[in-house]
Amino acid sequence: MQRNSPLPRMVIVQVAGRGRKENTMAQKANSLAHTKWMCKYHIVFCPKYRRKAIYNQYREDLGQILRQLCQWKGVEIIEGHLMPDHVHMLAGIPPKTGVSSFMGYLKGKSSLLMFDRHANLKYKFGNRKFWAEGYYVPAVGLNEATIAKYIREQEQADIALDRLSVKEYEDPFKK
């Protein structure tokens, strides 16, 4: 008799590294009726015209909308970060849901919900199109921790890069 548990099980694995052994948590294996799966994707998409539109109230509402839509589709958000001009998500998408159909659903419904909550966005973005066409989705292998760390530290890296790039060492107006 097979037991169906609502929570996926964590597996402990022995990893050998430089003369020592340590226990680390391996990836979670989810299950459907006859399938064990571990489909994780790093998803990146941006607003139309790559406008820096994800801030303050928009950011809070968009985060809530994306979490709600993913929950409705049975998609687990492992890590996510809303940058001012793009969105990073590390998501576990079930194999019964295609990545392209999920992204169409996510971008389409979130756009409609954003325009319902913030009607003034129509002056910036036109007729209910909040997101730009396309997205970037590489499959995540067993390096989930590395990608989660990258997503967490992306904003600090962008801020540091901006500080370096705007500093002027000479006054361009002095001669």
Half-sphere exposure of 112 (CA within 13 A, CB side): 6
Strand residues in the chain grouped as ranges (E): 12-17, 20-25, 30-31, 36-37, 40-45, 76-82, 87-92, 139-140
* Type of residue numbered 4: N
CA distance 83 to 52: 8
Burial bucket for residue 44 (CB in 10 Å: 0-12, 13-18, 19+)? middle
CB 118 within 8 A of CB 64: no
Two structure tokens written together for 15: 């990893």
Reduced to 3 states (helix: H, G, I; strand: E, B; else coil), residue 111 is helix
Are 111 and 128 in contact, with CB atoms under 8 Å apart?
yes
**Catalytic residue positions, numbered:** 150
